[in-house]
Structure 1
């Protein structure tokens, strides 16, 4: 960067020695010499010769072209002024003089210097090469003060977008020999202007804290040095307005408006006070929901039965849109083309309900002529096309096109995706245009993790969400901890055979050297699966798993003090069986009430899985697990309450007993206990290893709530209560010789505790403080648990 003494080169400097007023003086003198009378400017003049002086790079013809004055041409004083202005505005000359000398008009110019080099000084946040793409001035071109000012404004705008509204850019020139200059943009970046206070006016149903969670813009807080969303960006306000509208509309506030959004800068110009003025209105619920038909021969009764809206449920536009799509899909199944569904809403002010009538009407006979896709340099056309439910030649449905656009954006492959339509080759044809902008979809991550139970660990991961532009997912993860190694490769084809079939192939290798037990394990396996929808909210996954599990390094001797420290004979017998191969078929059914995201205040989830081992291999069993979850946001969505019930059963087939690699341990299910801290345990041997159980059942209740700290700090509080147990063994003959029974009965364990949640840019942190209430004497408690996951 240049460091020489500089002189101002602003566009406001004088661009000519003689201004238009001075020209008229010259004309007056010329008029007297020629025996003419004043006023000179009102008369015409003729010059027998026009002489150009001072031009070096610009030829005389070009100068005359700007002046538009020819020899012998009659010109007025006003035309001479205009000639001067055209030359001055051409951007080619630093000074311009128009001097009448008798019958000769002298045009004397001094050309702008040539730009030698362009430098940027004072910039740290934006690199030189990025700034160079913003300016129009170029090396080896004529220097133009107006263009330099415009370039300075473009650089200033780039800083403003980053929240540095106090940034200033001053273009300066350094004179060099040979009529050359160095152009220097002197940049004072200033500080990031943050949102010091984010507040709302007019909100009654929801607190400022709750509404701040909705916005993309965040209030500056404890982590202001690493949070970018607390920077003031004017363009983000419009997005915030839309997010507020969507939030309130999804909760039945159909009259909601954002009346104003005011950003006030502090006196020091280092922060903003951003205030949203809103008008909430009242929240409405669904009243009477019906379907009617205005199409001859179409019975509305079938369509009424397909509606999925309950009376009294809070009104939401997304619920209406979902039911419209369901009815239009039903019409297509019945072979009814060009049927449109119009929601007709009647407001009931007295009871604050909305009656909705889904009217079936005849739509226009318009067909999709073709679908054009542009901008996808990496992603294949078929990946974009399969997001459409219609193809060329199908009836045109505007709602389906809008939903297809949303599905394309949801892929995450594109920074921008615009879907629009235009008339086709005939009045009954339409062309759908898809214009996308690719964005990176791969990532390489290195991480450090720490857990109270797992210790410190390192990980490396590679992930590509759009492998070879086919929309496939490829992932590789390798992680190591204090006592484990975990490696897995994952491949997903989301549209197997061109249908809504999600094919997954997973292979893994895991080793454990657990500090909480006196044995190690090694597991190797592959598991292909396929997943597909079986209802609006339900999905089914079917899988095959082939694995080899081995138990090793079971303690069999004495400890360092010569005391007996052997593991239970149950574990020793399981190690003696060697590496066993398990070949199983399995399935998982899941039902999620919020799969479409239509209920922002609640969720119900059911999951049921079974694996049947014995399709070849060395072991035969049936493993069953189930989970039920319900979650609600209450007290104006300030408090989230959650209840979870889950359990599992392992049934061995034949004479074989289960092994620790197959049984349940309940790790992480009941807080307040160490990993392998509960369940059947052989108390007749020195190390008292946990053995796991064939059954487990757990119930968890928890609540999350704000702690009263500023929302932007990311802290939330929580309380919880867990209860459950792990129990039942096939072989209860323990001790060192198998002649001491092991207690494998059901014993209830329970705990209560508090949690602190901290959402940070480096990942979510959770601090649990738990106290075991119901326990056995041999259980191993754990009062504190912390999990940190850091990626960089």
Structure 2
């Protein structure tokens, strides 16, 4: 009975297996039919008008006389589509032939743009990939549509719409038209910071490049939302906090919310500041036998007790790396180790010096520069192709490139080269506008209204050269004021002879019309120029050398002066030839709106290298800026300056004396005070002068920070004295005010970081003056970029 049941089961399983066999034919070894490979004797092509049949056949993977399968047909179709030449491809077999039927993509006769106003056809034409006489493909059309939309988004038109249209011209030719609806301008309506306590929102907004729109947003482009710029802003915030002692600072999030109803972005940056640290112990350790750690400790810019700054650590790394490399250790590696005392808020730093891995720079690739020449970028590196790779010097070059101001973005990164000991360095940059238009003006009791217009370019023709041209005019308001005209042109090559040596020249012509005033009672024309050189002594210290020569023509002295004392003013022509040098120490953080740093300069000029005049002039000045209260953006500034001039061989001319005025002590006119001739009132000037200023700058209260308005309270003081006795005696002048009495003023200023650039207006009131001094209550200046 059991045998019968077993036999029945076996029969049923056999039937079921036979029934499933067709369905399992795809399984290996189970019901699989052998693959049948076909072959053809020839390949024919149809449908082509521009593309040669031989070219089409070359992309077909099937060859006459060789077996092929459906997989080969699929591969051939894909290869033909990949050329971008065809909109349709069909492959079939007809008898012994393989038939390839194609439909060619049309050729573009014209690429046009309609509805665009924000960007010209030229700009849009350079943005898209498709060009006249190229082959149109739907993939490229969609790609170019996205390119145009991205361009508009990055320039403040986030809702811009682009619709491509294809107009058939017959004979497989088309016009491609991009219909553009630019839409309203999209702005960054508000930038909010969450978690900041040490610094106010306004102070942090000064750090980042993205700005709020405000009521004057239509005049600027910095309020455009750009995700790349927002990423750069986050890096700027990190560096700002790290340089102010907040070593634990981090950004929790940076979110840009788009409100479609308001057509505006609202950016919220959430931060965690942490505690502020100061330096603890500073040490240097080395494994190199010929390197003295104690000697290198003097190079450290990090000092115990000072507020921690990542910038100081970076510069110390650079200085030690260069010093050790000069001793023959090309592969030196300097690494900082920070030991944090969380309770005491201190960071002790030890700089470790070791022999690094032996790796060489195989190649330096420059990417993204459309205007700036490659060599302008490469020369900022202290190393080149074939040199030992050093990460510290690579980072130093990146900071130099960012400091040039030529680029919106700079990124330097490395990747493996052709062998394990080779490294490829990539330098990715994005050019930006580097030109500037500046306007300045004011009003004085001696020259009336004064105006100046200058145009400058600091990356001329992408060569990194600096060019500046300016014209100025003083408009007299009455017969007592004198008209002035100035014309200047200057050129600077920052890398003369392919070395970190600057050179340049200046040429100018200045005309001063005679006025009935006693400040400039004669007509004067100065025509001349100068050749100058700048030699870096240290990173922050520069030696300047200069040769200057000018022709001075004095005529038309006013009758009142000549009648009383004709010897006061030397009429006629004179030629002045001089050489000079200056030593400049500069650590200012921002040239336009300084907050921290020192600018100090000492110089001497010797006139008498030929020419008709001989003298020795010495001058010194120093300015110190300090952020007093970072959370309130309160900045303090003190400045000192002074000078002395002595005639050599001959008496010193009055016109070569120091003459002080509103550019030194606000509240006074240009050349407004100093020793005078009592009989004529003519300003003689003096051989010595000193001046000082104290100022504080702060955001204007009540007014929203988005306006960028700052106030200033200042006090200026100065004096000039000691007219050359030999000149006084020979001219018969009667001195007045040669007693070094102090002049002083107090005032308020208004500074506007406007869409036109930085504008400043000063109102000053003299508190110490003499009756015969000339005053000037108001001055202003400003500029913008293009």
With the length of structure 2 as denominator, give the TM-score of the two structures: 0.78
**Range 586-595 or range 309-318, more displaced:** 586-595
8 Å CA contact retained: 1:669, 1:698: yes
Q: Whole-Å Cα distance in 1 between the matches of residues 440 and 428 of structure 2?
A: 37
Distance 2:405 2:320 in 1: 29
After TM superposition, give the deviation of residue 701 of structure 1 in Å: 0.8
CA contact (8 A) 2:438 2:782 kept: no
1:399-432 Cα shifts (integer Å, max 9, x gaps): 22332344355456677766555666765x5355
CA contact (8 A) 2:541 2:585 kept: yes
Distance 1:205 1:415, change over 3 A: closer
Secondary structure of 2:572's counterpart equals coil
- Give the Å deviation of 1:394: 4.8
Match of 2:661 among 641, 662, 666: 666
Cα distance change on mapping 1:600 and 1:714 into 2, 3 Å: closer
Q: Measure how far apart 1:640 and its partner are.
A: 0.7
Report the equivalent of 1:682: 677
Summarize the Cα distance change of 1:431–1:554 in structure 2 as closer, same or farther, 3 Å threshold: same
Q: Which of 395, 418, 422 is matched with 1:430 structurally?
A: 422
Displacement of 1:594 in angstroms is 4.6
Q: What aligned pairs does 1:277-676 form with structure 2 within 5 A after superposition?
A: 277-296=270-289, 298-367=291-360, 386-390=379-383, 394-408=387-401, 410-411=403-404, 429-430=421-422, 433=425, 449-453=440-444, 455-457=449-451, 459=453, 461=455, 463=457, 465=459, 469=463, 472-473=465-466, 475-482=468-475, 483-496=483-496, 498-513=498-513, 517=519, 518-556=521-559, 565-566=560-561, 572-576=566-570, 578-594=572-588, 602-636=596-630, 638-676=633-671
> Distance in 1 between the 2:530 and 2:155 partners?
46
Partner of 2:25: none
Q: In the aligned structure 2, how far is the partner of 1:696 from the partner of 1:129? A: 57
Q: Residue 664 of structure 1 contacts residue 694 of structure 1 at CA under 8 Å; is this kept in 2?
A: no
Q: Deviation per CA, 1:338-373: give whole Å up to 9, x if none.
A: 332221110001110100011222222344567677
RMSD: 5.2
Partner secondary structure for residue 719 of structure 1: strand
Query: Cα gap change, 1:251/1:731 in structure 2, threshold over 3 Å: closer, same or farther?
Result: same
Structure 2 vs 1, CA of residues 458 and 265 (structure 1 numbering), >3 Å: closer, same or farther? same
Change (3 A) 1:507 1:161: closer
Q: 1:696 to 1:180 in 2, by over 3 A?
A: closer
1:734–1:136 distance in 2 versus 1, CA, 3 Å = closer
Give a deviation string over 1:488-525, Cα, whole Å, max 9, x none: 44343434455443334334332222655322322233
- Distance, in Å, in 2 between the alignment partners of 1:394 and 1:116 is 51
Residue 115 and residue 749 in structure 1: after superposition, are their counterparts in 2 closer, same or farther (change >3 A)?
A: closer
2:700 aligned with 1:707, yes or no? yes
**1:723–1:230 distance in 2 versus 1, CA, 3 Å:** same
On the 8 A contact 1:682/1:735 being kept in 2, the answer is no
Q: Distance in 1 between matches of 2:284 and 2:217?
A: 53
**Which region of structure 1 is more displaced relative to structure 2, 493-502 or 721-730?**
493-502
Aligned to 2:26: none
Q: Distance in 2 between matches of 1:296 and 1:768?
A: 61
Supply the distance in 1 between the matched residues of 2:210 and 2:723 (Cα, whole angstroms).
55
- How far apart are 1:281 and its partner, in Å? 0.8
> Aligned match of 1:215 in 208, 213, 221?
208
Q: Distance in 2 between matches of 1:590 and 1:56?
A: 73
More off after superposition, 339-348 vs 292-301: 292-301
Contact 2:440 2:780 in 1 (8 A): no
Give the C-alpha shift of residue 644 in structure 1.
0.8
| Separation in 1, partners of 2:109, 2:558 | 79
Q: In structure 2, do the counterparts of structure 1 residues 635 and 789 end up closer, same or farther at CA, with 3 Å as the change threshold?
A: closer
Query: In the alignment, which residue of structure 1 is the partner of 2:29?
Result: none
User: How big is the shift at 1:251?
Assistant: 1.0
2:741 is matched with which residue? 747
Does 2:238 correspond to 1:235? no
Report the CA distance shift for 1:177/1:770 in structure 2 as closer, same or farther (over 3 A). same
Alignment of 1:720 onto 2:714: yes
Distance in structure 1 (CA, Å) of the matches to 2:641 and 2:484: 26
Q: Secondary structure at the match of 2:671?
A: coil
- Shift, 1:195, TM fit: 0.8
2: distance between equivalents of 1:749 and 1:608? 24
Counterpart pick for 1:205 among 198, 208, 230: 198
Assess, with a 3 A threshold, how the Cα gap between structure 1 residues 375 and 193 changes in structure 2: closer, same or farther: closer
> 2:770 corresponds to which residue?
776
Q: Is the 8 A contact 1:250 1:600 kept in 2?
A: no
1:788/1:439 CA distance change after superposition, 3 Å: closer
Matches within 5 A, 1:50-199: 119-134=112-127, 148-149=141-142, 151-172=144-165, 184-199=177-192
Mapped partners of 2:398, 2:363: distance in 1: 16
Instruction: Please tell me whether the aligned partners of residues 665 and 693 of structure 1 are also in contact (alpha carbons under 8 angstroms).
Output: no
CA distance in 1 between counterparts of 2:546 and 2:82 reads: 75
Report if aligned partners of 1:733, 1:741 keep a CA contact under 8 Å in 2: no
For residue 197 of structure 1, report the CA deviation from its aligned partner: 0.9
Instruction: Please give the alpha-carbon distance, in whole angstroms, between the structure 2 residues aligned to 1:125 and 1:671.
Output: 44
Contact 1:735 1:741 survives alignment (8 Å): no
SS in 1 for 2:561: coil
Q: Report if the CA contact (8 A) 2:114-2:179 is conserved.
A: yes
TM-score (norm 1): 0.77
Contact residue 732 and residue 743 of structure 1 kept, 8 A: no
CA contact (8 A) 1:348 1:354 kept: yes
| DSSP-derived class of the 1:575 partner | coil
Deviations 1:545-590 (A, max 9, x none): 333334322112xxxxxxxx336856x3143463333333322222
Q: 1:272 aligns with which of 246, 265, 276?
A: 265
Moved more, 782-791 or 206-215: 782-791
Please, which runs of 5 or more residues in structure 1 have no aligned partner? 1-53, 69-74, 77-82, 98-106, 557-564
Q: Are 2:567 and 2:731, in contact at CA under 8 Å, matched by a contact in 1?
A: no
Shift of the 126–711 alpha-carbon distance from structure 1 to 2, 3 Å rule, reads: same
- Per the alignment, residue 11 of structure 1 pairs with none
**Per-residue deviation at 1:272?**
1.4
Cα distance in 2 for residues equivalent to 1:720 and 1:93: 74
The SS at the match of 1:164 is coil
Contact 1:421–1:432 (CA under 8 A) maintained in structure 2: yes
The secondary structure found in structure 2 opposite 1:778 is coil
Q: Tell me how far 1:204 sits from its aligned partner.
A: 0.8
- Structure 2 segments unaligned to the other structure (5+ residues): 1-45, 63-68, 71-75, 91-99, 476-482
CA shift, 1:263, in A, is 1.6
Q: Deviations over 1:276-311 (max 9, x none)?
A: 111111111111001122334543222223323221
